[in-house]
Amino acid sequence: MLSRKRSAFLLAALGMLVAPLPVLAQGASHEALGPYWFGVGLGGGSVRSLSPAPAAERNALAANVEMGYRFSPDWGIGLELAAIVPFTGCAQWDCDSAPASFAPNFSRLSGFAEYRPGHSGWRLRAGVGVSRFCYRSHWSDGAWSWLDTMGLLFDDYTDEVVGGSGAWRCDAARRAAGGSVSVGYDWQLSGTPATMGVRLAAEAAHFDGVAAVGMPAFRHRAVTMTLHLTLD
């Protein structure tokens, strides 16, 4: 029940933020303002991994950071770092006697191609990259750096930042090739080199099991809706 209330609140908040966008964008065009862009997104979604996957049927927070290069008015390419954090469950495989309680935070680093048809606000995107989750970690005191955070996918070092006095250190993680697709619409904010919009996205990856700890192989699936601010 708690997760449903949080999800409802998040969707309502997104709705209130999105509602004024068409008014803010009145009279603005969707012409590209420059070849490069940088964007951030925040929203919610649901992990719909197939059984016996961990974190199945859980609502989650979704966030991403992206940068891209537009080589024509309609086409662009870029890189995206994204995360999905379930509202409930625990991030350690052995955190409970029931494997169903395991709900790891998934992260993804991917390259993508984006199509913006007819100078419109529509954004159609497909990407491929590496998905990751940590299934065993420990808390360590001491400062963290942005290098720790950006190294989530590759160095098995930092899982998530909890506070300024320390961080979770990942002891064991699983990675897999994965893909994502999305459709969104952005409104140009009048008088600014920025757009704001919404995006519906889906991602997938197939993770191998870990026989040593009894973790089965599973297919990760997630659907998210996020609000995005993009600077051109």
pTM: 0.77
Cα distance between residue 124 and residue 181, in whole Å: 8
Element (H, E) at 217: none
| SS3 of residue 121 by DSSP | coil
Specify the pLDDT at position 26: 42
| SS3 of residue 16 by DSSP | helix
DSSP class per residue in 148-171: HHHTTTTSS-EEEEEETTEEEEEE
Band (118; pLDDT cuts 50, 70, 90): confident
Mean pLDDT in the chain?
80
| SS3 of residue 22 by DSSP | helix
pLDDT tens per residue, range 53-108: 666 788 999 999 999 999 998 999 999 999 999 998 888 888 877 777 888 899 99
Hey, what domains does the chain have and what are their CATH numbers?
2-21+38-132+173-231 (2.40.160.20)
pLDDT above 70 as % of the chain = 72
Element (H, E) at 141: strand 122-141
Specify the pLDDT at position 201: 98
Element (H, E) at 210: none
Cα distance between residue 53 and residue 84, in whole Å: 15
Amino acid letter for position 107: S
DSSP-derived letter for residue 102 is: B
Kindly state the tokens that stand for 43: 């929203």
Closest CA to 158 of 48, 83, 71, 47: 83
Query: CA 129: distance to chain centroid?
Result: 13
Backbone dihedral angles phi then psi of residue 54, each to the nearest 5 degrees: -70, 160
Specify the pLDDT at position 144: 56
Query: CA 77: distance to chain centroid?
Result: 18
| Mean pLDDT to the nearest integer, 212-223 | 90
Specify the pLDDT at position 178: 96
pLDDT tens per residue, range 76-86: 999 999 999 99
